Structure 1
Amino acid sequence: MIALEFTSDAARFLAAAGDHLAADPVLNTVVTANAHRPRSWPADGPPRHFWWLVVRDGSGAVVGAGMRTAPDPPYALYLLPMPGDAAVELARTLHRRGEETLEVNGALPAVQRCAAELARLTGGRAEPRIHTRLHELGEVTPPAPVPGRLAAVTEEDIDLVLRWVAAFMGDADEQAGRVRGTGVHARPDRSELLRRIREGQLWFWLDGAGRPVSLTGATPAVYGVARIAPVYTPPEQRGRGWASNAVAEVSRRLQSGGARVCLFTDQANPTSNKIYAALGYRPVVDTANYMIVRDA
């Protein structure tokens, strides 16, 4: 027997699943970071497509988790590892609830099982759009040095950060086979980026003339794990080592503060995978993005 427990209360979710999440904090980094992120809601509460999921087996033990917390359509799911029958039952439960689900992200094979069942129930097909991989840093291997230095982003930089994060999201959409600006986050959230700036989670690499040429972010450590995201360099500045040096320095600082450090890469991008491997990042788990496509 599999039991699915849904809640819109992050504190309740963490009370139920916290020990399970903390047992493998690198693997569970996306959900744990999201659950610990502060949020404010309008008077009528969170949107309909917003929940946390705890998966229990017949004995009541937590054997999986997930979330649907994306702020924009299609409100993609994000699934952590769970038994295959739980992934299938999740799809059936959402279908019974009339909760349209057109995008599923997360760990394989759970995400594939859920997407396949959603497609079967709705008469569509599940198409993998992007294959990603989670990596954890061992020991930082410094890259070839380049001119410049790392500098914290300030609130005065918000307009540039908004443009670069929008471009980063657009690149992710294209890599997943979507039209730019139609993905999990259709637009960057100004208030969220300002919060991250104020909390010291975003940095520029400044070139030798003091100009911003690359952006690197990191989530706060949760259960001792911090995640590098986003990493963006404008096209005209790529191939010069800016991002490698920025990520290496941010990673070094995080490790010096006692955190384990991880990040995601697109498996179809050999350049970024090679760069991060050279810095000392090693694969942990494969993840994927599936779209549910219905023929006209």
Structure 2
Amino acid sequence: MSVIPMAGQRLHFCTDPGEFLAAAGDHLAADPVVSTVVTTIAHRLLSQQADGIAQPDRTWWLVVRDESGAVVGAGMRAAPYAPYPPFLLPMPDEAAVALAYALHERGEEVLALNGALPAVDLCAAELARLGGGRVQVSQHTRLHELGELAWPRPVPGRLEVATEHDVDLVTEWFGAFVGDADEQVGRPRGASAHEVPDRAEMLRRLRAGRLWFWVDETGERVHLTGANPPSFGVARVGPVYTPPAQRGRGWASNAVAEVSRRIQAEGARACLFTDQANPTANRIYAALGYQPVVDMANLVIVR
């Protein structure tokens, strides 16, 4: 772990997810819904490490400590897709600015950042000032947690777990989900960079049994919903994808409701992200009982 002292803050960078979780675990567990992206990826990469899968050299984990040594923030750079945006959790304003200086001094090219506001705004603005360019918003997101589940109007069919035999269709729908989500809010397809797992990773997810189809009364697969394994007692739902020809029939509401019920039945809390520009998705999840927790943003630095 490398330590970079800043005025009133210490930024600790490490390359091992296990070391990161050991250092920041109590802090992350104190607000596990807000921390969900960082903790699920840290646990996923820790599991891959145990299977002998190496992380890319660019991957790092960040622990922010105050003068007393208490953890006051965290982040990571572990995205597997270009331009490999860091993800920041809440941290003091001065720490977010200090992080920009540290990344600039390390010679890291950072052209996008995701995460909690205002930390991500402050860090991106300082990076743009140091390296040139301007900051643009790619996507405003909102994290929600399920309170009491409200069941939607029932539709025909049932939830069915996806298996390894479904890898091609699941991979196709993962890719379509990313592009369709952009189109639905008026962005060009591919404007929002998101992970589409490679075949090996997709097979690992299918073996874990955390991807489900909604199958209609004829046996046709009409919808896909996924969820991460619980991390610090929180499981995040996503992706949620219905092919265009099947939309508006209630498949998504029923599938997400049943997946959410299963998450709560296993003793975990359910959460999910929405794109703030997509009123339909926000309305559907609110109707199911999902309540806003925190707003986040995906930013790009244009040079």
Q: Give the match for residue 289 of structure 1.
A: 298
Describe the SS at the equivalent of 2:262: helix
- Name the aligned partner's letter for residue 15 of structure 2: S
CA distance in 1, matches of 2:244, 2:199: 23
In 2, are the aligned partners of 1:151 and 1:205 still within 8 Å (CA)? Answer: yes
Separation (CA, whole Å) in 2 of partners of 1:61 and 1:285: 23
Q: Which segment drifts farther, 39-48 or 152-161?
A: 39-48
* Residue 177 of structure 1, CA deviation: 4.6
SS at match of 1:127: strand
> 1: CA distance between counterparts of 2:153 and 2:52?
52
Q: Partner of 1:36 in structure 2?
A: 43
Tell me, what secondary structure is at the counterpart of 1:139?
coil
* Secondary structure of residue in 2 paired with 1:268: coil
Which residue is equivalent to 1:10? 17
Change (3 A) 1:80 1:257: same
After superposition, give the CA deviation of every residue in 1:107-151 in whole Å (9 maximum; x if it has no partner): 111111111111111110011111000000001100011110000
| RMSD (Å), alpha carbons | 1.9
Q: Could you tell me which residue of structure 2 aligns to residue 183 of structure 1? A: 193
2:161 to 152, 168, 180: 152
Q: Following the alignment from structure 2 to structure 1, what is the Cα–Cα distance between the partners of residues 121 and 245?
A: 36
Given that residues 178 and 192 in structure 2 are in contact (C-alpha distance below 8 angstroms), is that contact kept between their aligned partners in structure 1? Answer: no
Q: Tell whether 2:93 aligns with 1:93.
A: no
Give the secondary-structure state (helix, strand or coil) at the position aligned to 1:39. Answer: helix
Give the 5 Å matches for 1:109-128.
109-128=118-137
Contact 1:14 1:35 in 2 (8 A): yes
- Give the drift of 1:236: 1.2
TM-score, normalised on structure 1?
0.94
Contact 2:138 2:192 in 1 (8 A): no
The TM-score, its normalising length taken from structure 2, stands at 0.92
CA distance in 2, matches of 1:44, 1:139: 39
Measure the CA separation in 2 of the matches of 1:183 and 1:222: 24
For 1:184 and 1:143, locate their aligned partners in 2 and report how far apart those are by CA, in whole Å.
Answer: 29
Residue type of the alignment partner of 1:180: G
2:268 aligns with one of 254, 259, 272? 259
Q: CA deviation at 1:287?
A: 0.4
Q: 1:222 aligns with which of 220, 228, 231?
A: 231
Give distance in 2, aligned partners of 1:229 and 1:99: 30
Indicate the percent of aligned positions where both proteins have the same amino acid.
65
The answer for the alignment partner of 2:78 in structure 1 is 69
1:178 is displaced (CA, Å) by 5.9
1:20 is aligned to 2:46:
no
Query: How much does 1:172 deviate?
Result: 4.6
- Mean Cα displacement is larger for which, 17-26 or 168-177? 168-177
2:40 matches 1:49: no
Q: Cα 1:219–1:86, aligned 2, differ >3 Å: closer, same or farther?
A: same
For residue 204 of structure 1, give the secondary structure of its aligned residue in structure 2.
strand
**Residue 224 of structure 1 contacts residue 259 of structure 1 at CA under 8 Å; is this kept in 2?**
yes
User: How many positions carry a matched residue from both structures?
Assistant: 293
Counterpart-to-counterpart distance in 2, 1:115 and 1:107: 12
Distance 2:175 2:286 in 1: 26
CA contact (8 A) 2:114 2:297 kept: yes
Q: Name the CA distance, whole Å, in 1 between partners of 2:125 and 2:20.
A: 26
**Residues 27-55 of structure 1 deviation map (CA, whole Å, 9 limit, x = unaligned):** 11111111111224999953232011000
- Counterparts of 1:167 and 1:287, CA distance in 2: 23
Unaligned runs of 5+ in 1: none
Alpha-carbon contact 2:180-2:189 (below 8 Å) kept: no
State which of 201, 209, 219 in structure 1 corresponds to 2:218.
209
CA shift, 1:191, in A, is: 1.3
Structure 2: distance between partners of 1:123 and 1:80: 24
Structure 2: any 5+ residue segments left out of the alignment? 1-7
1:270 equivalent in structure 2: 279
Query: How far has the Cα of 1:168 moved from its partner?
Result: 1.3
Stretch deviating more after TM superposition (46-55 or 125-134): 46-55
Q: Secondary structure at the match of 2:148?
A: coil
Q: 1:219 to 1:237 in 2, by over 3 A?
A: same
